[in-house]
Amino acid sequence: DGNSPGTLVRNADIAMYETKSQGKNGYLHFNPAMSSNHQDRIILENDLRAAIKSGNQFELHYQPQVSGKSHSIIGLEALIRWQHPTRGLIGPDEFIPLAEETGLIIGISDWVLSAGCRQLRAWRKAGYDHFKLAFNLSPKEFEQGNLVDRINRHITAFDIPPAAIEIEITESLLMNDAEKVIEKVSLLRHAGIHVSIDDFGTRYSSLNYLRRFPVNSIKIDQSFIRDLVPNHAPAIVTAIIGISKSFSLDVLAEGVETEGQFNQLNSLGCDKMQGFYFSRPLPASAVERLLVSGVFPISNMKPALQRCG
């Protein structure tokens, strides 16, 4: 599909990316329609590079993690957003996969860790030191030798106690190079940092891995919480909560959106929750208003949501 070596290689490359975007272990013949996708990708990649360099196009939003019993904020999860100069606000699902493929994820994570720790220091100085800040790290980063040093560098630069930090990792990475990941997770734990498994249950959860990975907690994926309907708890949610108890792990339910789900999780013994029912991810200033109010005003949630967007 090309009449020069350069074009052939370029088109083969484009077809390879297209195949990868449809999942691994496949193949596709090049067709010209793939080119525009590829162009978009290259433009996005260049824009991402520029964004990392400038450092002022990203922002962090924070989503509260709440205790069902005390209604208090026990954690905040830092979630990145990209304020693109022409395309407006872009969510992480649109650029994190590209960043992972291109290696740009390291620069992004450094920005996230630094901005998050800076914000956490400000909150702690203002007296709000009762919650953890959770960061999402990409599986790719666990392949890098200096991950633990990088995290430690950020938390010491901002004088953050390691116990105030949680690292969320997705299950997929646990499957790749298990020994390496176990070693990194152990080092993080050894440093006093908490580690949780994100989106638990969606990939190849293996009890054997859970036994070997020294994590503190698991986060039940939101797809299972969505299936909770009144008077019927799907077996998988009950099972995951049971597994967490057997392994003495903390468990948190993601994507809690309704009062019914909240009540059901409470009765299933899952106290820690996160989701739109409590709050959407918020900019730091809006989080401050929640922190000032102390406990989470569950009965006032709807107005609070409207206020904070």
Q: From the CB of 136, what's the least distance to Mg ion, in Å?
A: 4
- Residue count at the site for ligand C2E (CB under 6 A)? 21
For residue 154, which phi and psi values (nearest 5 degrees)?
Answer: -65, -45
Instruction: Please give the single-letter amino acid code of residue 309.
Output: G
d(CA 125, CA 118) in angstroms, rounded, equals 11
Residue 79 lies near ligand C2E (rule: CB under 6 A): yes
Decide if residue 93 touches ligand C2E (CB under 6 A): yes
Question: Residue 264: how many CB atoms within 10 A of its CB?
Answer: 21
Q: Both tokens of residue 44? A: 């996005």
Answer for which of 91, 103, 269, 294 binds ligand C2E (CB under 6 A) is 91
- Structural tokens at position 195: 């580690």
The answer to whether residue 136 forms part of the interface with Mg ion (CB under 5 A) is yes
Give yes or no for a contact between 279 and 262, defined as CB atoms under 8 angstroms apart: no
Q: How far is the CB of 71 from ligand C2E (least distance, A)?
A: 17
Helix (H, G, I), strand (E, B) or coil at 194: strand
CB of 229 to ligand C2E, least distance (A): 16
138 binds ligand C2E (CB under 6 A): yes
Q: What angle do CA 255, 113, 185 make, to 5 degrees?
A: 75
- Interface region with ligand C2E, contact rule CB under 6 A, candidates 21-29, 82-90, 130-138, 180-188: 130-138
Please, are residues 210 and 243 in contact by the beta-carbon 8 Å criterion? Answer: yes
Which one of the spans 23-31, 120-128, 205-213, 253-261 is the region binding ligand C2E (CB under 6 A)?
Answer: 253-261
**DSSP helix, strand, coil percent of the chain (3-state; round to 5):** 55, 20, 30
96 counts as binding ligand C2E under rule CB under 6 A: yes
Which does residue 96 touch among Mg ion, ligand C2E, none (CB within 5 to 8 A, set by kind)? ligand C2E
Residue 118 neighbours by CB under 8 Å, 6+ apart: 158
In the complex, least distance from residue 200 CB atom to ligand C2E, rounded to whole angstroms: 10
> Which parts of this chain interact with Mg ion (CB under 5 A)?
136, 168, 198-199, 254
> Which parts of this chain interact with ligand C2E (CB under 6 A)?
63, 79-80, 91-93, 96, 112, 136-138, 168, 198-199, 222, 255-257, 275-276, 281
